[in-house]
Amino acid sequence: MIYNDKKYVWHPFTQMMTEPDVLEIVKAEGTSLIAKDGKSYLDCNSSWWVNVHGHGHPHIAKAISEQFEKVDHIIFAGATHKKGVELSERIINTLPDNHFQKVFFSDNGSTSTEVALKMCFQYWHNQGTPKNRVLAIEGAYHGDTFGAMSVGERDYFNKPFEPFFFDVDYLPFPKKELEKSTIEKAEKLFQTNDFSALIVEPLIQGSSGMRTYSSEWLDQLVKLAKKHNVIVIFDEVMTAWGRTGELFAMNHVNELPDIVCLSKGLTGGVLPLGLTVTTQKIYDAFLSPERVKAFLHGHSFTGNPLACAAACASLDIFEQESTWKKVKLITSKNKEFGSKMENHPSIEDIRIMGTILALELKTGEGNTYFSDKRDEAYRFFLSKGLMMRPLGNVIFINPPYSITMEELEYVYEVIEEFIG
Ligand SMILES: *Cc1c(COP(=O)(O)O)cnc(C)c1O
């Protein structure tokens, strides 16, 4: 099997020449990933940050199987289905303050941001006042398609593609001491009136190392964008679904965006689905007797009914009090562990936001994805039965909410042992 994997499979984010053999997982259950040799691994990063309720959740399984009996997949142009409508209505009603009105479907996080960007560019185009620049934040990650890469950090990950990216300005990451100057910089840029959109990962940047920033700063920036008619996109692909301690990161702020992108935990993390949710104002700019003013974008699997059924089932689980009790419990345990580790000599920084705990280790070489510490940490955690993929010298957990307190304590113990 492993031989055939090497022979036929090309893995993501992987140098296939030097990477050691991958783990064959034969069963995923709750927080456990069971390998072929019988060894069990705790899924500390929710299987690439997606699995929020644990693997094989019976309620989600039932929803998918029942949906399969009814409508497995249909074209979503000129036709609709119950679960697509139900999901849209529930998402609109779950997002704050009746602020959003329309849901556009795609297949993953990258396409949800790609769609958001295309909507912004066409919004201005349709009104005969094209605006070509976007403002993003240094260290951003919005996905791996071209538009999404264009607004992401320009680094070794996307070097070969850089000549093909559109024009983007970046604000420095708003560390405390840069809060004032970054707002001033944004104001200057917005005054040029060239900006179509602002895109941010609200409150916490994921891929750049789970880096947090203040909600007051975000409120200021969004307010400024609105003052200058710049469309605001919140990429909540990672931050939604309880990760920040609330259902959405935007539940922590006062200024709401015009567009929000959702994916990852949306289906409980079991089927691919992306949503781009907009206000009435964005939607209305596409209404016209002219067909070319429509949003001419779609995917074969747009609005896949099985994925919609899984997402509705995941929303059911988020309506249960026990889910939120667990989110709060993980949050407070993270804080306890964080304060215990605060002054550890090997730790550069500790960041906690809800169910996410990140420890930046001192390496003397800066925060690099390819740091040797990363491989060392990854192997150490595997040997202790933890599946945990550090981001460079940042080790972090964002576990499924089905994790038990005993399991969580064990994770902290192993982290402490590694750092020690
Ligand atoms: C993961 C991620 C994406 C990309 O989602 P994919 O489903 O992997 O394409 C986009 N934005 C953020 C903030 C993410 O964390």
Burial category of 325 from C-beta neighbours within 10 Å (exposed 0-12, middle 13-18, buried 19 and up): exposed
How far does the centroid of ligand 1 lie from the alpha carbon of residue 349, in Å? 24
Residue nearest (by alpha carbon) to ligand 1 atom 6: 109
- Distance separating alpha carbons of residues 170 and 182, to the nearest angstrom: 10
How far does the centroid of ligand 1 lie from the alpha carbon of residue 39, in Å? 30
Amino acid identity of residue 380, one-letter, is F
**Index of the ligand 1 atom closest to the CA of residue 236:** 13
Read off the pLDDT of residues 366-384 as tens digits, 9 standing for 90 and up.
545 556 778 899 999 999 9
- Distance separating alpha carbons of residues 126 and 202, to the nearest angstrom: 28
Beta pairing partners, 233: 199, 259
How far does the centroid of ligand 1 lie from the alpha carbon of residue 340, in Å? 31
In the chain, residues under CATH classification 3.90.1150.10 are: 2-56+322-419
Q: Which of 178, 164, 279 is nearest to 220 (CA)?
A: 178
How far does the centroid of ligand 1 lie from the alpha carbon of residue 414, in Å? 28
Res 368: pLDDT: 55
19, 365 contact by CB (below 8 A): no
Res 19: pLDDT: 87
Instruction: Give 406's Cβ-side CA count (13 Å radius).
Output: 1
Residue nearest (by alpha carbon) to ligand 1 atom 7: 109
- Give the per-residue SS3 of the chain: CHHHHHHHCCCCCCCCCCCCCCCCEEEEEECEEEECCCCEEEECCHHHHCCCCCECCHHHHHHHHHHHHHCCCCCCCCCCCHHHHHHHHHHHHHCHHHCCCEEEEECCHHHHHHHHHHHHHHHHHHCCCCCCEEEEECCCCCCCCHHHHHCCCCCCCCHHHHHHCCCEEEECCCCHHHHHHHHHHHHHHHHCCCEEEEEECCCEECCCCCEECCHHHHHHHHHHHHHCCCEEEEECCCCCCCCCCCCCHHHHCCCCCCEEEECHHHHCCCCCCEEEEECHHHHHCCCCCCHHHCCCCCCCCCCCHHHHHHHHHHHHHHCCHHHHHHHHHHHHHHHHHHHHHCCCCCEEEEEEECCEEEEEECCCCCCCCCCHHHHHHHHHHHHCCEECCCECCEEEECCCCCCCHHHHHHHHHHHHHHHC
User: Residue 66, Cα to own-chain centre: how many angstroms?
Assistant: 28
264, 270, 299, 356, best to mutate for ligand 1 pocket (most atoms within 8 Å of CB):
264
In the chain, residues under CATH classification 3.40.640.10 are: 70-318
- Distance separating alpha carbons of residues 95 and 21, to the nearest angstrom: 42
Q: Which of 286, 229, 239, 289 is nearest to 262 (CA)?
A: 239
Burial category of 235 from C-beta neighbours within 10 Å (exposed 0-12, middle 13-18, buried 19 and up): buried
Res 363: pLDDT: 82
CATH code for the part of the protein at 2-56+322-419: 3.90.1150.10
Q: Which residue do the tokens 């072929």 mark? A: 36
Instruction: Return the CATH architecture of domain 70-318.
Output: 3-Layer(aba) Sandwich (3.40)
Strands 259-262 and 356-361, sheet pairing: unpaired
Strands 102-106 and 274-278, sheet pairing: antiparallel
* Largest Cα span, the chain: 67
How far does the centroid of ligand 1 lie from the alpha carbon of residue 250, in Å? 17
63, 309 contact by CB (below 8 A): yes
Read off the pLDDT of residues 186-197 as tens digits, 9 standing for 90 and up.
999 999 999 999
Count Cβ neighbours within 10 Å for each residue of 20-48 and write b for 16 or more, e otherwise: eeeeebeebebbbbeeeeeeebbbbbbbe
Segments of the chain scoring below 70 in pLDDT: 1-2, 365-371
Residue nearest (by alpha carbon) to ligand 1 atom 5: 109
What are the pocket residues of ligand 1 if the criterion is a CB atom closer than 6 Å to any ligand atom?
108-110, 113, 141-143, 201, 206, 235, 237-238, 263-264
140, 201 contact by CB (below 8 A): yes
How far does the centroid of ligand 1 lie from the alpha carbon of residue 418, in Å? 29
How far apart are the two ends of the chain, measured CA to CA in Å? Answer: 37
- Distance separating alpha carbons of residues 103 and 84, to the nearest angstrom: 10
- Distance separating alpha carbons of residues 102 and 286, to the nearest angstrom: 12
